[in-house]
Amino acid sequence: MNQNAPIGIFDSGIGGLTVANAIRLLMPQEKLIYFGDTAHLPYGDKSPDSIRYYAIRISKFLLDRGCKAIVIACNSASAVAFKALQDFFSDRTIVINAVDPLVKAIVSDKDIHTVGIIGTKATIQSGSYARILQQKASGLLTHSLATPLLAPMIEDQFHLRDVSTDIIASYLNELPLQELDALALACTHYPLIKDQISDLLVSHKIRILDSASPVATELKTRLLESGLLRVNDSEEDSEFYLSDKTESFEKSAEMFFGSSITINEADIFTGQI
């Protein structure tokens, strides 16, 4: 692999942009290729087999563009498709998921004894966070809650309306907030409503953690270990692809990366793998 090769990132939609932005801030010299599978969003209500199929297709698309690493910037895909991507592609590229780096951040904070986990149905039903957290820190207590309305709400820009606060509050009230030291946002969409969550939890003094920065840090570490961290700034613009163009994605991408970006539509779900 070439250290000047791009980094591939994918998600079902705009959530992965929070991870892409964290990677750009930590490693501005790198070129990114982002794929948003907007034709199939949200992944959280899809079957594990469907999510694995989408993830393998997208990863092949990114590898065909020479990516030296693939970042699964989606907790649902990370929870159910990471092993499949490792089995298919680990001999050709570095594969990073969104779950393990966030788990590492939770476990490394010795002040966290009880953590709430909110995410999509696919992520919560997989049990990945609770299982891995128990493996890493057996004394840690977890409370998991599926919050299936949040990712579609964010994709459709409803998080910018007052009604979103009521929906978020309704979910949070299902958790034993008085017992929590931290709340893990186990969906890469959720950093986009982190301020609203923080406002609702201000009286509880609960630490709020998400995947974006931990994933970027893990990726940089892996690139350094493999001698693949780019030294010189890329003269190529980052590339953005969607399986179905949406106005909300364009607005969100421009918010993070500026109005000069070009978003391409790519039909990658036909033909043989």
Residue 88 is given by DSSP the state H
Task: Give the chain's length.
Answer: 273
d(CA 189, CA 33) in angstroms, rounded, equals 18
**116: which strand partners?**
143, 183
67 in catalytic set: no
Whether the Cβ atoms of residue 13 and residue 220 lie closer than 8 Å to each other: no
Can you tell me whether residue 240 is helix, strand or coil? Answer: strand
CA–CA dist 228, 223 (Å, integer): 5
Q: In this structure, what DSSP letter does residue 144 have?
A: E
Q: Rounded to the nearest 5 degrees, what angle is found at the Cα of 14, between the Cα atoms of 10 and 15?
A: 75
Enter the tokens of residue 262.
């070009």
Q: Strand, coil or helix: what is 156?
A: coil
Catalytic residue among 74, 95, 124, 151: 74
Q: Which of 105, 187, 197, 215 is catalytic?
A: 187
Of the chain, the end-to-end C-alpha distance in Å amounts to 22
DSSP 8-state symbol, 10: E
Which pair of tokens denotes residue 115?
Answer: 């953590």
Residue that is written with structure tokens 């087999």 in the block: 49
What is the 3-state composition of the chain as percent helix, strand, coil, each rounded to the nearest 5?
50, 15, 35
- Which residues does the annotation mark as catalytic? 74, 187
